[in-house]
Structure 1
Amino acid sequence: MSSPFATPESQVSAGFHYFIYGWRLILQRKLMPFVVFPIAINAVLMIGLIWLFFAHIGGLLDSLLPSWLEWLNVILIPLIFLMILVAFYFAFTTLANFIAAPFNALLAEKVEQQLTGEALTDTGFGELLKDVPRMLKREWQKMWYSFPRLIALFLLGFMPVVGQSIVPVLTFIFGAWLLAIQYCDYPFDNHKISFARMRNALAQQRVMNFTFGALVSLFTMLPFVNLVVMPVAVCGATAMWVKEYRRFFLGESSGEFGGGASGSTLIISNNKPSSNHLVER
């Protein structure tokens, strides 16, 4: 029997559902204290990087633009400005994710506890501190997964026609996939599920996860709204984990994700993701 989320259309709907559900979750009073930390980190980093950007943009433009190319200022300055802006955006995203990783993991834990009524075995601030090195190692794994592919896309951008037409689309698609990995990873990592297994699980419902990541990407581009997107994405991704993946990975079925040795298929119920409704048939 096939899953209700097997078709691309239903997976797109599911991606929207979990992103919208993330907005509902951040308004929960019990979760509010854990939502504040990622927002505060985002705000401080954004203010600092905006100040650095505008304080040094003039000098960077002068240093990157040779005097013998001054006649191309009209064309090159906007391109260099855009390149520096993209670099600052990735610096902000990378730095924010590294610093906020422990707080995002704690938020994912509290969201899962609220949705399922079950607490993780190892909880508390002391246990969180012990897990910080593992969390930072996980962030490095995500970074090393993304950098070679981003560099390849950057180099493809210099190719005539392809660089101006296909590469921007590929970059957006890959960026959406990276954001899905980034935020879905927190609940997976809380249960110490390997990075490779997590990626494989998300790939089984790629359209749903791409839709979720694309929405996160689009809202990240909106001023002020982007300050709250991080906790929204963590909450939505955790709701996705609870309903789509949790039962399988916590040992209630066997085999690799997507149908194991028993030949079972993972079926999703139509109930709201307020508890674990992932069932096997």
Structure 2
Amino acid sequence: MIKDFAAGVGLLGQGLRIVTTDRSMLKRGAIPVLLASVILFGGLAMLATNLDAIVTWATPFADDWATVWRRGVRIAAGLVTAVAAVAVSLLVFSGLTLAVGGPFYESIAEDVEDKVLGGVPSAERIGWSRAAWIGLRDTVLLVLRALVWAIALLVLGFIPVLGQTVVPVLAVAIGAWLLAVELTAIPFVRRGHDLRTRRSTLRKSRAMTLGFAVPVYLVCLIPLAAVVIFPAAMAAGTILAHRLLGRP
């Protein structure tokens, strides 16, 4: 498992080398990221500003508790709410980026497969409208799944110690997994595979998928870092899909 996780990290490193060597890929991938980043960080800034009020509103049962217990519960709730909101926001961010920049990222996937991986002779042409529709549809489905997990993690977050240690790590893993499902969409769709096939294929190499996706997830939390890491992640996701599916 550790070896596969490290291999996934290596795929991201390979994707980073590809887009920094071919600056045209980096430029193509950066344009949609800049547009989506404004929305992402604007939403997170609003959440940070109103987090105390949201947590207080969501935990009225703790109003009459002793100060120590009330504060502990609300700190736990605030932490889990923030982590869950970040997870959902990153999914919306990646989905919006892929929808807006569909032609850019399809061209990156094509270049990686044609120039680096030897090509995919039977690959389909997706087109902007289809890529946008697939991106929006998959984003809605994955965000709904993320919200279900967010509710479960919110409940677990009230458990002392577990809520402040295991739950945030689990939230990052889940968010990274869903992000990987989005980032590998184009190479799977080019081969005619749907979302269900994509998820089941990635699940067979879960450690490698997380090794690729967890660093992407964490780096995207740094303002403007996504400008570089997202095109690299698209290249790495293409390599991952190519490895898992094999050549047609």
- Sort the TM-score into its range (normalised by shorter chain): 0.7 to 0.9
**Against the structure 1 CA distance between its residues 152 and 57, is the aligned structure 2 distance closer, same or farther, given a 3 Å change threshold?**
closer
Residues 1:133 and 2:111 are matched in the alignment? no
Shift of 1:9: 4.7
Tell me the alpha carbon deviations over residues 48-85 of structure 1, each in whole angstroms, 9 at most, x when there is no partner: 22442355446546645656458457545544543453
Q: Higher helix proportion, which one?
A: 2
Q: TM-score, normalised by structure 2?
A: 0.76
Give 1:177 shift: 2.3
1:1-281 counterparts in 2 under 5 A?
8-27=1-20, 28-57=22-51, 59-60=53-54, 63-64=57-58, 68=64, 71-72=67-68, 74-75=71-72, 78-103=75-100, 105-117=102-114, 121-122=124-125, 127-159=127-159, 162-164=162-164, 166-247=166-247, 252=248
Shift of 1:237: 0.5
Q: CA RMSD in A?
A: 3.2
CA 1:21/1:103 → structure 2, altered by over 3 Å: closer, same or farther? farther
Structure 1 151/50 Cα, relative in aligned 2: closer, same or farther at 3 Å? closer
TM-score, normalised by the number of residues in structure 1: 0.68
Q: Please state how far the C-alpha of 1:91 moved relative to its aligned partner.
A: 4.4
**Partners of 1:187 and 1:238 within 8 A in 2:** yes
Q: Distance in 2 between matches of 1:161 and 1:74?
A: 14
What is the Cα deviation at residue 193 of structure 1? 0.8
The unaligned stretches of length 5 or more in structure 2 are none
Q: How many residues align?
A: 238
Structure number with the bigger relative contact order (C-alpha 8 A, sep ≥ 6) is: 2
Q: Distance in 2 between matches of 1:240 and 1:136?
A: 22
Give the Cα separation in 2 of the matches to 1:176 and 1:208: 12
Q: Whose radius of gyration is greater, 1 or 2?
A: 1
Q: Distance in 2 between matches of 1:234 and 1:30?
A: 14
* CA-CA distance at 1:226 after TM superposition: 4.2
Q: Which runs of 5+ in 1 are unaligned?
A: 1-7, 253-281
- SS of residue matched to 2:24: coil
Deviations 1:149-169 (A, max 9, x none): 443333233345654554444
Identity %, equivalent residues? 21
The CA distance in 2 between the partners of 1:60 and 1:148, in whole Å, is 19
Q: Which amino acid aligns with 1:20?
A: G
Amino acid at match of 1:90: A
Where has structure 1 moved over 6 Å in runs of 4 or more? none
> Residue type matched to 1:235 in 2?
A
Q: For residues 153 and 205 of structure 2, what CA distance do their matches in structure 1 show? A: 24
